[in-house]
A and B are shown apart, each in its own frame.
Chain A
Amino acid sequence: MANGAALTLGPLRLVARWSLRSADHAGRFTFLMVDMLRGLAEWRIYLPRTVEQAMAVGYGSLFIVLLVAGFAGAVTSLQTGYQFTGTLPLYYAGAVISESMILELGPVLTALILAGRIGARYAAELGTMRVTEQIDALESLGRSPISHLLIPRVLAGLLVVPALTMFANATGIVVGYLTARGSLGLTYADFEYGARYFFRPLDLWYSLIKSYFFAAAVTTIPCYIGYNTQQGAEGVGRSTTAAVVAASVTILLLDALTTKVLLTAK
Chain B
Amino acid sequence: MIQILNVSKRFLDNVVLDGVSLEVHDGETLALLGPSGVGKSVLLKHINGLLRPDAGDVIVDGLHVPRLKRKELAELRARVGYVFQYGALFDSMTVFENIRLGITDERLYRDEAYCAERVRECLRLVNLAPEVADKFPAELSGGMKKRVGIARAIAGKPKYLLYDEPTSGLDPVNADVIDGLVERLQNELGVTSVVVSHDVRGSFRVADRVALLWQAKIRAVGRPEEFLASQDPAVQQFLERDLDMAVIQTGGDAAREAHGPHL
Contact = CB atoms under 8 A, between A and B. Distances in A.
Interface string A72-116: 000000000000000000000000000000000000000000000
B122 to A, nearest CB: 13
Given A134-B91, A136-B50, A142 B86 contact: no
Nearest to B164: A133
A260 interface: no
Contacts of A138: 90, 101
A141 B104 contact: yes
B1 to A, nearest CB: 20
A28 interface: no
Contacts of A143: 74, 101, 104
A187 interface: no
Interface string A115-137: 00000000000000100111011
Nearest to B70: A144
A133 B86 contact: yes
Nearest to B155: A141
B88 interface: yes
A129 B45 CA distance: 17
Contact of B88 (A132, A142, A144): A132
A144 B45 CA distance: 16
Interface centre among A133, A138, A140 (most CB of B within 10 A): A140
Nearest to B49: A139
Range for the number of chain B residues in contact with chain A = 20 to 34
B84 interface: yes
Contacts of A140: 48, 50, 77, 80, 82, 84
A54 to B, nearest CB: 16
Contacts of A134: 88-91
Contacts of A137: 82, 84, 88-90, 152
Interface residues of A, number: 13
Interface string A230-241: 000000000000
Interface string B41-77: 0000100101000000000000000000010011111
A255 B101 CA distance: 41
B102 interface: yes
B156 interface: yes
Contact of A142 (B74, B91, B152): B74
Nearest to A136: B50
A142 B50 contact: no
A141 B86 contact: no
Contacts of B78: 141-142
A144 B73 CA distance: 11
A136 B83 CA distance: 11
Interface in B75-122: 75-78, 80, 82, 84-86, 88-91, 101-102, 104
B84 A136 contact: yes
A153 to B, nearest CB: 13
A143 B77 CA distance: 9
Nearest to B110: A44
Nearest to B78: A142
Contacts of A141: 77-78, 82, 101-102, 104, 152, 156
Given A132-B86, A133-B84, A133-B86, A139 B91 contact: no
A142 B50 CA distance: 11
A142 B84 contact: no
Interface centre among B50, B70, B88, B91 (most CB of A within 10 A): B88
A235 to B, nearest CB: 15
Contacts of B86: 132-133
A144 B50 contact: no
Interface in A171-227: none
B74 A133 contact: no
Interface of A: 129, 132-134, 136-144
7 contacts: A136-B84, A137-B84, A137-B88, A141-B82, A142-B73, A142-B77, A142-B78
Interface of B: 45, 48, 50, 70, 73-78, 80, 82, 84-86, 88-91, 101-102, 104, 152, 156
The 10 closest A-B pairs by CB, nearest first: A137-B88, A142-B77, A140-B82, A133-B88, A142-B78, A142-B74, A142-B104, A133-B84, A134-B88, A136-B50
Given A136-B84, A138-B90, A141-B77, 6 more contacts: A132-B91, A137-B89, A140-B80, A141-B152, A142-B73, A142-B104
